[in-house]
Amino acid sequence: MGNVLRLALVDPNDTTRESVKSMLLGMDLVWLEAECSRYEFFADVVSQTHPDIGLVALDHDADKALALVNKLNEATPDCSILVVSSSTDGGLILRAMRAGAKEFLTRPVRIEDLLDALTRISERRFGRGESKSRGSTVIAVAGATGGVGSTSLAVNLGCVLAANEKNSVALVDLDLCLGDADVLLDTIPDYTLVDVAQNITRLDFTLLKRSLTKHSSGLFLLPRPVQMEDMSLISPDDLQRVIGLLKATFSHLVLDLSKSYNAIDMVALATADHVLMVTQLDLPCLRNVVRLLTSFGQMPGVTEKVRVIVNRVGLECGQISLKKAQETIGREIFWQLPNDYRTMVEVRNNGIPLVEQAPRAAITLAIAHLADALSGVTRKEAEAGEPGLTSISRLLKLWPKGKGSPAK
């Protein structure tokens, strides 16, 4: 769960409790582990669920609530107490702090104040230096046009990341109309993005993973809707909540964008830590990269996250040179993936990812190096292949002995 804070909530008032719940469900920093409507039972709830934070509402009965805060502080010192009240009385605030509350918020709770309080608690628990590294990494994979291989990269990158037993990886197919990530993995999902989005308030960690389809590689898939008419049932707000829930559950989240760059895709771009822009070395693709980068410049923070990935390098059909491509788009090429038409056609038609079909193929190793780069592993470390450190070393273990050298 990374640096996601697990929270238990007690508030005898149904209206205010639901208001706080709806705010918490949209955040990727916190997971609502349990809720309670009685002060008398909350200590038992905390002892059974072991949350990082106990949120106690004071308004129903301040004396009972503060006695509960004091009890929790003595019995479960690892649980940070956050109290909420409509009162701004200095005496009440002082009593709450003396009872052991770490943060005091006044109603109506503003989301920015709640985020600040949660961030301070997170920094105290994990430390400023560790907080970011413990979180989930979100990778958005986008294409300069259709047919450049962005979905193939998203699927196979997810499978490579999932090959590391330390990672938990989910792939979300955001091409709501024509997405085919499920086909590339030869799966028939029971649930789709629509099912998760419509039941987001009722899902916990266990139900969430049951709603996703787990592939033999370890990758979890959340596919696009089955029926095209269901596309309208997913709003940008729905996706924001789904992403927040997935970030609270998985160490890596891969988002396969559509080519329409609609409102759903914009949420993915804004949420991502890395945006992989997949292109080929031809003029229409490079022209689209320039257009997209210009458009992304209107979205704060997105352009800086874009990594240009050139696919099918080595095609014998008059490709534009890498130097000319970099001059055209005005930035460096982040990664190159070699052309391996025969291998890719085979894995696509068989519905088997590269890590299982061809773990030593040049294209597979290139994607593994990319996974390492996105994870902060240097190329030198990756090429050294230190056991347990890199995607390369793990992939080579998948290849049966006697199968020969990597494909050229």
**What pLDDT sits at residue 125?**
77
Write the CATH number for 214: 3.40.50.300
pLDDT > 70? residue 384: no
Q: State pLDDT tens for residues 264-298.
A: 999 999 999 999 999 999 999 999 999 999 999 99
Write the CATH number for 87: 3.40.50.2300
User: CA nearest 157: which of 377, 399, 365, 385?
Assistant: 365
**What pLDDT sits at residue 400?**
47
> Does the residue 406 lie in any domain?
no
**pLDDT confidence tier of residue 175, bands split at 50, 70 and 90:** very high
Are residue 203 and residue 343 in the same domain, yes or no? yes
β-strand pairing of 213-214 with 220-222:
antiparallel
**pLDDT confidence tier of residue 124, bands split at 50, 70 and 90:** confident
Looking at 131, 162, 192, the residue that finishes a domain is 131
Q: How far apart are CA 52 and CA 16, in angstroms?
A: 21
Are residue 356 and residue 221 in the same domain, yes or no? yes
Are residue 254 and residue 269 in the same domain, yes or no? yes
CB 48 within 8 A of CB 33: no
Are residue 243 and residue 316 in the same domain, yes or no? yes
Q: How far apart are CA 141 and CA 157, in angstroms?
A: 10
Are residue 182 and residue 280 in the same domain, yes or no? yes
Write down the mean pLDDT value for the chain.
87
Are residue 71 and residue 155 in the same domain, yes or no? no
- Determine which of 36-40, 62-66, 73-77, 205-209 has the lowest per-residue pLDDT on average: 205-209
Q: What pTM did the predictor assign?
A: 0.71
User: Average pLDDT in the 163-191 region?
Assistant: 94
The percentage of residues in the chain with a pLDDT greater than 90, rounded to a whole number, is 68
The total of structural domains in the chain comes to: 2
> Does the residue 408 lie in any domain?
no
**pLDDT confidence tier of residue 383, bands split at 50, 70 and 90:** low
**pLDDT confidence tier of residue 129, bands split at 50, 70 and 90:** very low
Phi, psi for 266 (deg, rounded to 5): -65, -35
Non-local CB neighbours of 377 within 8 Å, separated by 6+ positions:
389, 390, 391
Secondary structure (3-state) at 72: helix
Looking at 131, 147, 171, the residue that finishes a domain is 131
> Does the residue 215 lie in any domain?
yes
> Does the residue 142 lie in any domain?
yes
Are residue 174 and residue 110 in the same domain, yes or no? no
Are residue 185 and residue 267 in the same domain, yes or no? yes
Are residue 120 and residue 149 in the same domain, yes or no? no
The percentage of residues in the chain with a pLDDT greater than 70, rounded to a whole number, is 86
Q: How far apart are CA 201 and CA 145, in angstroms?
A: 35
Q: Is the dihedral of CA 389, 184, 268, 329 positive or negative?
A: positive
Amino acid type, 317 = C
**What pLDDT sits at residue 1?**
43
The continuous run of DSSP H or E covering 143 comes out as strand 137-143
> Does the residue 383 lie in any domain?
yes
> Does the residue 403 lie in any domain?
no
**What pLDDT sits at residue 206?**
66
Are residue 91 and residue 183 in the same domain, yes or no? no
Q: State pLDDT tens for residues 79-100.
A: 999 999 999 999 999 999 999 9
> Does the residue 145 lie in any domain?
yes
**What pLDDT sits at residue 102?**
94
Secondary structure (3-state) at 109: coil
User: CA nearest 274: which of 363, 184, 337, 334?
Assistant: 334
Q: How far apart are CA 93 and CA 85, in angstroms?
A: 9
C-alpha distances (whole Å) from 184 to each of 154, 187, 226, 241 are 10, 8, 16, 26
**What pLDDT sits at residue 122?**
83
Q: State pLDDT tens for residues 181-197.
A: 999 999 999 999 999 98
pLDDT > 50? residue 327: yes
User: What residue numbers bound the domain in which 238 lies?
Assistant: 137-398
pLDDT > 60? residue 112: yes
- Determine which of 198-212, 316-330, 382-396 has the lowest per-residue pLDDT on average: 382-396
Number of Cβ atoms within 10 Å of the Cβ of 340: 21
Are residue 232 and residue 370 in the same domain, yes or no? yes
- Determine which of 44-48, 186-190, 392-396 has the lowest per-residue pLDDT on average: 392-396
Non-local CB neighbours of 318 within 8 Å, separated by 6+ positions:
none
Looking at 131, 159, 180, the residue that finishes a domain is 131
> Does the residue 404 lie in any domain?
no
Are residue 307 and residue 169 in the same domain, yes or no? yes
